[in-house]
Chain A
Amino acid sequence: MFLPISRLVIAIPMLLASLSSYQTVSASSPVERIALQFKGRCSAQQRDIRALPSTLPGVLAIDLSSVPGHALIDIDTGMLSPQDVIETVRRLGHDEDACLMEPMQSCISANPFGHVDHPSATHTSMEY
């Protein structure tokens, strides 16, 4: 059941420390949650991710406390895809930084068909 875990090494400049804010979305908007797992010292990256709702349209909310070591990112899939978020985060990074983040996939990934059609499982831009 365990899917291959794709790894994305990212580093995010410490420039986006402004307060996050909600974006409005209609009740019918399709909302999807992306879970990113942190490894290493990632406090700067967490601050940057926290700012995503104000910098990336379609990012609705960030939750950095519910699951330790993870960022839960809710997006409006009518405006952007999970891959868009991952690409954006990757573009913010510096190769020399040591924070490792990876989209969380495991045997409890919610999509019943797992890697077959889950958008975050398109690995073209990720390192393994």
Chain B
Amino acid sequence: MFIIRLYQGLVFAAGLATITSVTIPSTLALAKTHEVSMTAVETEVVIDGSGEKYAAWTFNGQMPGPVVRVTEGDTVKFTLTNPATNKYPHAMDFHAAEIDFLKNYRAINAGETIEYTFVAKKPGIFFYHCGAPPMIQHIARGMFGAIIVDPKNAKAWAKADREYVLIQSEHFKNPEDVQGMFDRKFDGIMFNGGIFKYHPFVSGGGKLDAKPGERVRIYFVNAGPNEFSAFHPIGEIWDNVYESGNPANKLTGVQTYVVGPGSAATFDVVVESAGAYPLVTHSLTGALRGAIAVLLASPDAKPQPLMPMVPWKVSVPQTEITPVPMQ
């Protein structure tokens, strides 16, 4: 009778994904079970401000896939569905899990479903991705995302005032050119599935908002499939960097931090004054081909979701005409 069941159904893009949390029992209030369901969707997604579409393979029809968020010690009951309408096998590999690869991460054919369960034992920010062969193509085409495992002890690190998830990945214009992917012939670098998605000086681009003095926490994942990221805040210094997002792995006063493909880190920055602070990979061939996200600090900054502009719905004209402030 002390069992409390708390169902929190969260419907993601196109109603394809659900995450249900079950809390049991009340005496172990922090132990939750999350039922996470995703669907492999082979579809087109918008990848730049002109509205250009890309023949992606996705989780739930969006690139990146939905953010999964649990707390250290929670159980994740995961289900992947590969609809019969798909053409290719797909799979799911959660880096937050410590379970048998052969049994759980195998590819399933169209029309099949796979389920497995894991306990998120270690806090952090972790990559998830499709592992079906050729894995380099499945990741390059968009089958990746992030799972946040919040520390059980919320006081393990400073409380963030604002949070974003940024996932870096490479863009290959020809999604069928697997050899080009092996040869690292990428055409652009994306944050959250878009070229210059958060660059307001680029047509169709947006921004990441913050207020001066806020602690902004960036959960950063490098999906790759091949390139390293040298993540740097122009005009700022990372106040703290947490390798793999684990509060125990704390660095202080970091200018640039390298995140390899398949890895992740959490970055805290407190912007001291209003202005623009571009977050880039300082590997400039990547930054200048898409991997720039402008953090705009303004006293009137509004709340934004963890991954703004996902999916990216570009319209023409791309910007709204906004009223001129009267002085």
Contacts and interface: CB of A to CB of B under 8 A. Distances in A.
Interface of A: 1, 20-23, 25-27, 29-33, 35, 41, 43, 46-47, 50, 53, 60-68, 72, 74, 104, 107-112, 114
Interface string B206-235: 010000000000000000000000000010
A61 B319 contact: yes
Interface string B308-327: 00000000111111111111
B292 interface: yes
Contacts of B50: 30-31
Nearest to A35: B201
B200 A67 contact: yes
A67 B289 contact: no
The binding surface of chain A is classed by DSSP as: loop
A60 B316 CA distance: 9
Given A33-B201, A50-B321, A110-B201, 4 more contacts: A31-B317, A33-B202, A108-B234, A108-B287
Interface size class of B (residues with CB under 8 A): 35 or more
A60 B203 CA distance: 11
A25 B326 CA distance: 30
A108 B292 contact: yes
A72 B321 contact: no
A29 B317 CA distance: 10
30 contacts: A21-B321, A22-B317, A25-B316, A26-B316, A27-B316, A31-B49, A31-B50, A32-B203, A33-B203, A33-B205, A35-B201, A46-B324, A53-B321, A60-B316, A61-B320, A62-B321, A63-B319, A63-B321, A65-B323, A72-B201, A74-B318, A74-B319, A108-B199, A108-B201, A108-B278, A108-B280, A108-B287, A108-B294, A110-B196, A112-B288
The 8 closest A-B pairs by CB, nearest first: A60-B317, A61-B317, A33-B203, A112-B288, A35-B201, A65-B322, A63-B319, A61-B319
Nearest to A30: B50
A72 to B, nearest CB: 6
Instruction: Choose among B202, B287, B292, B325 the residue with the greatest number of A CB atoms under 10 Å from its CB.
Output: B202
A114 B285 CA distance: 12
Contacts of A63: 319-322
A23 B317 CA distance: 8
B288 A61 contact: no
A52 to B, nearest CB: 10
A37 B224 CA distance: 35
Given A61-B317, A61-B321, A74-B317, A67 B202 contact: no
Contacts of B285: 112
Contacts of A27: 51, 316
A31 B322 contact: no
B276 interface: yes
Contacts of A22: 317, 321
B296 interface: yes
Contacts of B298: 68
Contacts of A109: 201
Contacts of B142: none
B13 interface: no
Given A33-B205, A65-B325, A67-B276, A110 B319 contact: no
B160 interface: no
B324 A67 contact: no
Given A43-B324, A72-B201, A107 B234 contact: yes
B274 interface: yes
